[in-house]
Amino acid sequence: MARTLNGVTVAGPERAGVLARLNPANMRDRTLRWLLVAPSAVGVLLVTVYPLAYSFWLSFQTWNIINPPRFVGLNNYLNLLGDDRYWHSARISIQFAISTFALELFIGFGLALLINRDIQGRTIIRSIILMPLMLTPVVVGTNWRQMFNYDFGIINWLLVQVGIGRIDFVNNAGSALPALIILEIWRVVPFEMLVFSAGLASLPEEPFEAAEIDGASSWQRLIHLTIPMLRPLFVVVALFRSYELLRIFDVVYTLTGGGPGRATETLSFSIFDRMFQGWQMGYASAQAYVMFLMSLVVVLLIVKFLGLHGFETGE
């Protein structure tokens, strides 16, 4: 039988649903849920959404702190096309990202394979390797700057002991970027080793036992079984590390300060310098959004060519 509720005529199963929604107890529950979520939602809006919206608005302005913001349309973005310094920073960032990721992936996966074997002292070795994860990037950069010191750094002391001689890692344009790559590899390899170790521990044993019975070597089992089965993990690591490496800043700031000259000036450091040293707020905001688009393109390319179908199919 049809009933009229708050001016709306309902009948059959719909009536029960409407009655449930209009029940005072259910209405109080829904109100309570929104009240509990509200502080977190407001916090997200204040610390994430508002700064993003404001910086996007600012990217269409010219503002140097002294003069008030003035709308210039797409001029900031158009000026980037001829900004040699920005594209130099982009080249440094890409060079740094590719070199670092390739080396840390190789080392991290190799250590995971080593730790996955039943070797004596495996727990102690794993604990030592994971120690860099406990340190913040700023602390790591500051400590490595002292270790790379030309006069009293321990790394140069070791080089002298083996007869190589001192290297001015931080203040030489040819060695500053390799020094930065070495630092980042040392800092992040434990993370990748941890991820791949978990992946290796979760692999089923039956395919490997069958392959061994069929006469497959350890190398063949690695290439044709282990790596394909860990493909989703490789994609996840590539996604996380790609945008992290492109926006690297803290270790650059503490180790080399973007120098010598601009030999290690990454995109993030260039944006920081334009904003807080040159006070070009609008132009720096436009640079940041172009860097965001570059990171997005890299992520989309990784998803396209490596794919995430392994998660869906369970392969």
| Token digits of residue 162 | 């083996």
* pLDDT of 100 above 90: yes
Residue 127 — pLDDT band, cuts 50, 70, 90?
Answer: confident
**107 in the same domain as 39:** no
Q: Report d(CA 90, CA 246) in Å as an integer.
A: 8
Q: Report d(CA 239, CA 254) in Å as an integer.
A: 25
**263 in the same domain as 170:** yes
User: How confident is the model over 279-295, as a mean pLDDT?
Assistant: 90
- Rounded alpha-carbon distances, angstroms, from residue 265 to 175, 202, 259: 14, 41, 7
State the total domains in the chain: 2
**166 in the same domain as 286:** yes
8 Å CB contact between 106 and 227: no
Instruction: State the average pLDDT for the chain.
Output: 83
Q: pLDDT tens digits for 144-184?
A: 999 999 988 899 999 999 988 888 998 888 899 999 999 99
Is 115 inside a domain boundary?
A: yes
pLDDT at site 183 = 93
Is 67 inside a domain boundary?
A: no
Is 59 inside a domain boundary?
A: no
Is 57 inside a domain boundary?
A: no
Q: Which H/E stretch holds residue 61?
A: strand 61-62
Is 9 inside a domain boundary?
A: yes
**127 in the same domain as 13:** no
* pLDDT of 105 above 70: yes
pLDDT at site 36 = 80
* Structural domain boundaries enclosing 30: 3-47
User: How confident is the model over 270-277, as a mean pLDDT?
Assistant: 87
Residue 314 — pLDDT band, cuts 50, 70, 90?
Answer: very low
Residues 6+ apart with CB under 8 A from 263: 92, 173, 176, 177, 256
DSSP the chain: --EEETTEEE-THHHHHHHHHH-HHHHHHHHHHHHHHHHHHHHHIIIIIHHHHHHHHHTTEE--SSSPPEE-TTHHHHHHTT-HHHHHHHHHHHHHHHHHHHHHHHHHHHHHHHHHS--TTHHHHHHHHTGGGGS-HHHHHHHHHHHT-TTT-HHHHHHHHTT-----TTT-HHHHHHHHHHHHHHHHHHHHHHHHHHHHHHS-SHHHHHHHHTT--HHHHIIIIIHHHTHHHHHHHHHHHHHHHHT--HHHHHHTTT-STTTT--HHHHHHHHHHTS--HHHHHHHHHHHHHHHHHHHHHHHHHH-SHHHHH--
Is 23 inside a domain boundary?
A: yes
pLDDT at site 181 = 93
**148 in the same domain as 7:** no
pLDDT at site 116 = 81
**25 in the same domain as 173:** no
Q: pLDDT tens digits for 32-46?
A: 777 888 888 888 788
Is 70 inside a domain boundary?
A: no
Residue 215 — pLDDT band, cuts 50, 70, 90?
Answer: confident
**287 in the same domain as 215:** yes
pLDDT at site 89 = 92
Q: Select, from the ranges 9-13, 29-33, 125-129, 233-237, the one with the highest average predicted confidence (pLDDT).
A: 233-237
pLDDT at site 13 = 52
**144 in the same domain as 96:** yes
- Give the three-class secondary structure for 49: helix
**120 in the same domain as 11:** no
Is 123 inside a domain boundary?
A: yes
| CATH, residue 171 | 1.10.3720.10
| Token digits of residue 228 | 């394909």
Q: 8-10 and 3-5 as β-strands: parallel, antiparallel, unpaired?
A: antiparallel
Q: Report d(CA 237, CA 31) in Å as an integer.
A: 40
Q: Report d(CA 210, CA 291) in Å as an integer.
A: 48
pLDDT at site 27 = 63
pLDDT at site 295 = 87
The rounded percent of the chain whose pLDDT value lies above 90 is 23
9, with CB counted inside 10 A (0-12, 13-18, 19+), is exposed
**262 in the same domain as 153:** yes
**117 against 26, higher pLDDT:** 117
**291 in the same domain as 187:** yes
Q: Report d(CA 285, CA 273) in Å as an integer.
A: 12
pLDDT at site 92 = 93
**9 in the same domain as 149:** no
